[in-house]
Structure 1
């Protein structure tokens, strides 16, 4: 770790509760929405809102954070506002009301992770390859939430999910108060205008590839739980399948310093995109074969774990100095935001028009496009 004390506890707590919320929300919120009587297209529209806001909001939050240098204050404000806006789910269930509540919550929620990623990498300094050693706490939070809630919902009404999510939102806000900022490293690169960095061929290729990886995961985050329940899996089994992917992801996070020392970021990204093609092909063709679903979920280690660690490090390398938060915000906006939005929206319409098999086949095709972009224009680090 860097020479100065590394704030391991506060950052670990934030990652843990942030991704525990994701583990409670991503697999099960679509089931709650279906319990309200929404059709697939409406569920797709609502589940796309967090991605839409991740497309629009992080750039604004990141720009404000870099311009003012007050990253921690903005993080705390956004976490509190996300908690308060989420509470609206208890006051209505109409589609219009749910749309407003989810839009407001997502706008503030989308500020948190890019800011924490930038703060964490600033604390790590030249030891960015050790990012996974802190990020794994988020994966642990996700696992405990997704497994525990899956078993709980096998016997409890789906309405209990709302209270669990409220408690996790409160824990995230409390954790944000404890996160300390790190001094920005002023380097020569910060004199380069942001638009010139974005126009570099390798940056454009990386952004486009990350966009397609998020498109590929759109149907997974919206409909994977519904898909498995309809095939015959219990909610507890669905929770364990989600957890398996994140357990494998944790292993990758611990191995990343060793992997990154032996292989380039480009090589790691190429393998990750190839694994995504295989994963979604298996999900499309063999949902009722448990062993193949176990294999598909184990590939999450590459399609998210290795991919995300390599992408975060690449953006940190490409966006230096006063552009650090903007770089992470741009990654979030273009990939999880724009790509995730398109993937979620298309999945709702494809699901009804063509069925689950075609929907997940489209995911595999999107991942293949991303891999081709990395192979074509993204060079290995010099």
Structure 2
């Protein structure tokens, strides 16, 4: 156990920063080369589907020991790709001192963090217990895989076509759309196990995750100069996918044990809180570019 725990800590420290750093570089290059960020990002979602089904296909004919070797090969490929990534050049830092503390002293940025934090935290029960609950409701592993795939495919479609819609839209409006979709989605999943209702709301993953992600990236691209972008992405990823989502999953455990799928109602409350902060964001930030230059 302790060897695996130590290895997990090392992997966590080295692998986790790849997401915010990669997103920062991608956003910078999309702006510099006038590319549609959504159409670039969709390849990550597509790779998720291919890796999931590919790994399942391999494991059906082999054993679980192959998981380690697949991760090893993926790590080598990932290393090779990162050595070929562009190195965006930035000017001198905008100010001395900690960029993180500078950002955390900005009320608008804190409102933004609350929007994305509660929006991502609202997925805690879904990520941790959706498969467990669907299996207990009598659905096969194949059908559960279909449920997950519907959500990710909808996310891919959104990333492919959302460029024109997102461009120029206030991130607060996008956050509100994602939060409203979350309220509907989590209430339905907490209320019923009906096949067709699950199929009907699963495409809302494109809104609860996809549009929320685009809103988060759009805010950083528009409001924060390149010199602070990496710090902003790191804070966003650490708090939303780490603190908020991790706490939500931890809370969902004992609540699911006692209340079952009704714990989704708490996720609907998180989405409602995110919507509240989204409304505040639209009223306190007018959409100025490079808001934090001063």
- CA distance in 1 between partners of 2:26 and 2:42 (Å): 13
Query: How far off its partner does 1:264 sit?
Result: 2.2
- Report the 3-state secondary structure (helix = DSSP H, G, I; strand = E; otherwise coil) of the residue aligned with 1:355: helix
Question: RMSD in angstroms over aligned alpha carbons?
Answer: 2.5
CA contact (8 A) 2:179 2:275 kept: yes
CA contact (8 A) 2:154 2:205 kept: yes
From the superposition, tell whether residues 291 and 166 of structure 1 become closer, same or farther in structure 2 (CA, over 3 Å): farther
CA contact (8 A) 1:147 1:236 kept: no
Alignment match, 1:291: 196
From the superposition, tell whether residues 156 and 314 of structure 1 become closer, same or farther in structure 2 (CA, over 3 Å): same
- CA distance in 1 between partners of 2:131 and 2:64 (Å): 14
Alignment match, 2:186: 280
Query: How far off its partner does 1:166 sit?
Result: 3.4
Count of aligned positions: 284
2:262 aligned with 1:366, yes or no? no
Listed one character per residue, the Cα deviations across residues 180-237 of structure 1 (whole Å, up to 9, x for unaligned) are 21222x39x9348633443332211111121112221122222222222222222222
Q: Which moved more, 1:174-183 or 1:144-153?
A: 144-153
Query: How far off its partner does 1:159 sit?
Result: 5.0
Structure 2 gap segments, 5+ residues each: 289-294
Alignment match, 1:220: 126
CA contact (8 A) 2:166 2:214 kept: no
TM-score under structure 2 length normalisation: 0.86
The 5-angstrom pairing of residues 113-262 of structure 1 reads 113-125=19-31, 130-150=36-56, 158=64, 160-184=66-90, 186=91, 190-191=94-95, 194=99, 195-261=101-167
From the superposition, tell whether residues 162 and 295 of structure 1 become closer, same or farther in structure 2 (CA, over 3 Å): farther
TM-score under structure 1 length normalisation: 0.67
Alignment match, 1:313: 218
Structure 1 gap segments, 5+ residues each: 1-93
Query: How far off its partner does 1:137 sit?
Result: 0.7
